A and B are shown apart, each in its own frame.
Chain A
């Protein structure tokens, strides 16, 4: 009885019918706010390292294949469980990823680490499989205009293309990760409705994607818009199958990630050294830096399996190669303090 009563006192209940809330707790509002601040963070967060693909894809300097392979190998050693290796898109559109096959064949695949690759269509999927890929990713958008400008077709048409990839992947027993871009805002349309994001996420999930990464493509999101968007999406897709892919263009990435964690998300995409500027504004930040994310997560007592110093070594390496200052504040501070 005592155990049950303690449980009852600690929790607010929601009746299935009528959505009425009842609080058995007599804690005053300030204390409730205080409790909520420390509320239910995941014990472990899976970091999906997108530096070698999403990061380098948005860097001007074309990186030699050997350096890409070296980077991925160094990242593998840092304890990252997922490292997005390359993209099987046409080299005509993305010259940085022209060496996709050599990269896939050249990397040392560490046991227990996944190396997903982007496959925008069936042709890319088949090429990826041939090159030894054992996990792929597909990229949808929550904005019609963005879809048209980025991959030259509507959202619905892109989802149909993906059906083909999904079917082939299922037959080959290859897991597929789905991305939804422009989940908060679009560089062409402006604000994006949370319901639209939920619709696209649900479609990808129903098609068979094991995980849906929600991308704030231009970094305009804030804890306010992130909450609204995640509330809509979590109604359609289980939170355990969701990830956030935040851009730091407006400096909001870590705050947005924190909100996502508080809402039950336990998978975070990030890019070593914050590789990958914003493709829509010269000089602006893009991907959030993995080092900064890991620093925050470890400070919260959340396990990631990542060795921060080895990660920073990988970041320092790639920054030397592309002759660029790291965007990671943790890396900058650690060097100097």
Chain B
């Protein structure tokens, strides 16, 4: 057992251990440095470009282009592609063609195409259009909730309860989102307990997965850690996802932190679609390409072909992109593992 047991046997105090065995302190220092992280072997990417991404782009994208984008993404290996949102077109004109999009896409086997359904009306329209998975969007911030969907958090939960129980009857899985998980554009700091409360409620109501969103991208590995630590007390890690915004350039280290804590589902948007809705010209969603590059570089499987994602982002969208993975410097990227 080495030299330590002698110390333990003689019931020495820590101070005495350090004095008599000076190598002990350097062992502890060394261990801190060399500890290996435990990462998931596989990470599921939830591609939110066609919905969350396009929803925050100024230019209205034609329906056929949206369908083409989703169809291209369907060939990349992505297993979840959020297709559209059944919200009122009065509020979100970009998503006015939701029914046409859902009916027009080519559904690839083993790929899910969830759609946002903020209320029972939206849910029914979604199902009528052929949707087989839906999502509801909760918030950890009261002010954000009121300004975004015009009701309090508890009122929104009642709406979602209706959607979730109806979805359960129809055997349609529901994904839950919690926005403002690391900060609110109106309230500022959000307590991890606020996030945990909403996440827990959505999970208990029946959402199979809860995506925790850093809506204004203010989070850092520090706040991500604290928030996840709290939420993990109430929702199993396997049911958690992170949805990081890159507005302050923090998305990848935040995702890395989440992975180190056991999270294995990451939301991202092709070509970093979807600027910050609170300020023109700023980044929003983290780009799928950058996330894939990092994950593959860490030896984590995703099932996604990075080159095909780059193609999908490149070809269809002549918008100002924020991604940093540049195909031109393709120096055998697979060898950089």
What are 15 A-B pairs at a CB distance below 8 A?
A1-B12, A4-B14, A4-B17, A8-B4, A30-B232, A33-B37, A40-B35, A191-B336, A220-B336, A249-B329, A251-B294, A295-B249, A299-B222, A336-B281, A337-B276
What's the nearest-Cβ distance from chain B to residue A18, in Å? 10
In the complex, residue of chain B having the shortest beta-carbon distance to the beta carbon of A17: B2
Q: Give B323-337 as 1s and 0s: 1 = Cβ < 8 Å from A's Cβ atoms.
A: 111101101110111
Determine whether the beta carbon of B37 is less than 8 Å from that of A262: yes
Check A255 against B256 for contact (C-beta < 8 Å).
yes
Instruction: Evaluate contact between A333 and B323: CB separation under 8 angstroms.
Output: no
Q: Let me know if B261 and A37 touch, CB within 8 A.
A: yes
Shortest distance in angstroms between B254's beta carbon and chain A's nearest beta carbon?
9
C-beta contact mask, B294-317 vs A, less than 8 Å → 1, else 0?
101111000000000000000000
Q: Which 6 A-B pairs have the closest CB atoms?
A: A222-B297, A299-B220, A251-B324, A329-B249, A336-B279, A40-B32
Give A222 to B299 CA distance when docked, in angstroms: 10
> What mask results when residues 1 to 37 of chain A are scored 1 for a CB within 8 Å of chain B, else 0?
1011101100111111000001000000110111011
Which chain A residues border B28 with CB–CB below 8 Å? 11
Please tell me if B247 contacts chain A, counting CB pairs below 8 Å: yes
Is A33 a contact partner of B261 (Cβ separation < 8 A)? Answer: yes
Q: What 1/0 flags go to A150-186 for Cβ under 8 Å of B?
A: 0000000000000000000000000000000000110
Q: Which of B14, B31, B328 contacts A12 (CB 8 A)?
A: B31
Stretch at the interface among A74-82, A84-92, A97-105, A281-289: A281-289
Q: Is the CB of A33 within 8 A of B260?
A: yes
Contacts of A330 in B (CB 8 A): 248-249
Q: Find chain A residues with CB under 8 A from B279 CB.
A: 333, 336-337
A259 contacts partner chain B, Cβ-Cβ < 8 Å = yes
Question: 8 Å CB contacts to A: which residues of B184-233?
Answer: 185, 216-217, 219-223, 225, 229, 232
Q: Is A248 an interface residue (CB 8 A)?
A: yes
Question: Within A312-337, which residues are at the interface with B (CB < 8 Å)?
Answer: 328-330, 332-333, 336-337
Seed contacts A263-B34, A284-B329, A330-B248; 12 additional CB < 8 Å A-B pairs: A1-B8, A1-B11, A37-B225, A185-B331, A249-B326, A252-B290, A254-B249, A254-B250, A278-B329, A285-B324, A296-B221, A332-B282
User: Quick one: closest A residue to B23, CB to CB?
Assistant: A16
Q: Closest B-chain residue to A298, C-beta based?
A: B220
Interface size on B, residues (CB 8 A): 72
A218 to B330, CA, bound (A): 11
Assess whether A124 is interfacial by the CB under 8 Å rule.
Answer: no
Closest approach, in angstroms, between the C-beta of B105 and any C-beta of chain A?
29
How far apart are B190's CB and chain A's nearest CB, in angstroms? 14
A250 at the interface (CB under 8 A from B): yes
From A40, A223, A299, A300, give the contact of B297 (CB < 8 A): A223
Cβ of A182 to closest chain B Cβ, rounded Å = 11
B272-297 Cβ-contact flags toward A at 8 Å (1 or 0): 00001011111100010010011011
Q: What are the residues of chain B within 8 A of A73 when measuring CB–CB? A: none
Q: B223 and A250: CB pair below 8 A?
A: no
By the criterion CB–CB under 8 Å, are A13 and B298 in contact? no
Is there a chain B Cβ closer than 8 Å to A187's Cβ? yes
The interface residues of chain B lying within 8 Å CB-to-CB of A329 are 246-249, 282-283
From residue 28 to 43 of chain B, which have CB atoms closer than 8 A to chain A?
A: 28, 30-35, 37-38
**Residue on A nearest B293 in the bound complex, by CB:** A250
Tell me the chain B residues, 244-264 only, with Cβ under 8 Å from chain A.
Answer: 246-250, 252-253, 255-257, 260-262
The answer to whether B37 and A252 touch across the interface, beta carbons within 8 angstroms, is no
